[in-house]
Amino acid sequence: MKKYASDMAVSKTRRRLLAGAAGAGALAAFGPGRVLAATPLGGSGALGLAEIPDGTLAEQLLYALPGKVPLLKKTFRPPNFETPLKYFQTAITPNDAFFVRWHLAGISELKAKDYVLTVGGDSANHEVKFTLEQLKKDFKAAEITAVCQCSGNRRGLFQPHVAGVEWGVGAMGNAVWRGVRLRDLLAKAGLKGNALEVVLNGAEVPPLEKTPDFVKSLPLDVALDENTLVAYEMNGKPLPHWNGGPARLIVPGWTGTYWTKQFVSAKVVSKPEGNFWMSAAYRVPRGMFKMRHFESQLGHPNEPITTMVVNALVTSVQSGQKFARGKPIPVKGIAWDGGAGIDRVEVSTDYGASWHKAKLGKDLGRFSFREFALDVPTRENGGLLVMARATSKGGETQTEQLVFNPAGYHHNVIQRIYVEVV
């Protein structure tokens, strides 16, 4: 165990040095000529949601990272970029339009040929290491379609506003992920009877010694779930660097904070992980939301955010838009939840007095975006309030009022989009 800890310390120091150099290079790439627009883009009022603060919008611009289409820049260091609304017109989000979320500025330029995943810990029988080539050749591949959503998606829409990255609606994406099951790798290390959690770490490291390393943990049963993958492909292509390549963890149904990018270490432990990112960050008042409870992490008045709540996003209609009387309004969008699957999406145009079922698109799996569509008739001139609400197969329905929490998580308020029939 001492040797394991010593090796990890040396590895962490080495990664910090390498990532620091790589991070400087990456920041140098954020040079002149990459800015596509410097206008207040992505205002959420047009989507029937609260407005992002003017100050935040004034700093927002379209920016094309290497290998990406222009995305909505939130921060440069670390890089946080949001997917524009137009890329949610279909259930699968293109790789080059997929949002970018990093917590630390020390991002490693880790190459596929140098990739090594170490599995060990005090509750493992022994330590094992896997190269990317071994993951691809020595294990049966698995594939799943799943939504990756930042825990703080829509944080910028909170009223009153809260601290953190002021995301609009696009800190999410849906992709087909291919890789190997984490449980198959854990089996190679062997699990002791006292195994409780699996601690996750990536090659992303703090630029400063006093900054806490971004480390997360999962309950053992979630780590052993058949759907939890170490993915090296995204939509049929090698996992992009900006989205955690060469390999990242996929935890379907759980928010993106657990989807460790550049996944290089899994430690099976017998005690609850107590680092900053588990004990202080990414927590909400206990019992506030209907989500999976992380039992071994409940030693506080609050609890870790875990699974996503049910939600929907209208992508075809914006507030203030005008439609000709006699022609239907095409209300289209996507819905998703934490893994129960979408049961129905309903649309209202009379302030919620009546609701009509939309047609659901192809079912790509219970962890995926589900498309919906409904043509709303326009019989009279005047204003209409378009609302769309999703209900999961677990019986969870979107909320009409914001469930406020100081960290700005789980915003799933029903949109209210005002349109005019002329």
Q: Which residues, at least 6 apart from 60, have a Cβ–Cβ distance to it below 8 Å?
A: 40, 41, 42, 52, 72, 73, 74
pLDDT digits (tens, 9 = 90+) for 312-365: 999 999 999 999 999 999 999 999 999 999 999 999 999 999 999 999 999 999
Q: Which residues, at least 6 apart from 338, have a Cβ–Cβ distance to it below 8 Å?
A: 253, 254, 291, 292, 307, 308, 309, 310, 392
Residue 344, CA atoms < 13 Å, CB-side half-sphere: 8
Asked if pLDDT for residue 18 goes beyond 70, the answer is no
Asked if pLDDT for residue 21 goes beyond 90, the answer is no
Q: Which CATH number fits domain 311-421: 1.20.1440.230, 3.40.50.1390, 2.60.40.650, 2.160.10.10?
A: 2.60.40.650
Topology of the domain comprising 2-71+85-304? Sulfite Oxidase; Chain A, domain 2 (3.90.420)
How far is Cα 73 from Cα 62, in angstroms, rounded to an integer? 6
pLDDT digits (tens, 9 = 90+) for 89-148: 999 999 999 999 999 999 999 999 999 999 999 999 999 999 999 999 999 999 999 999
Question: What are the sequence ranges of the domains in the chain?
Answer: 2-71+85-304, 311-421
More confident residue, 87 or 1: 87
DSSP, res 65: -
More confident residue, 291 or 26: 291
The one-letter code for the residue type at 415 is Q
Confidence (pLDDT) at 209 = 86
How far is Cα 277 from Cα 297, in angstroms, rounded to an integer? 12
Max mean pLDDT among 27-31, 42-46, 371-375 falls in 371-375
Which of these ranges, 16-25, 104-113, 413-422, has the smallest mean pLDDT?
16-25
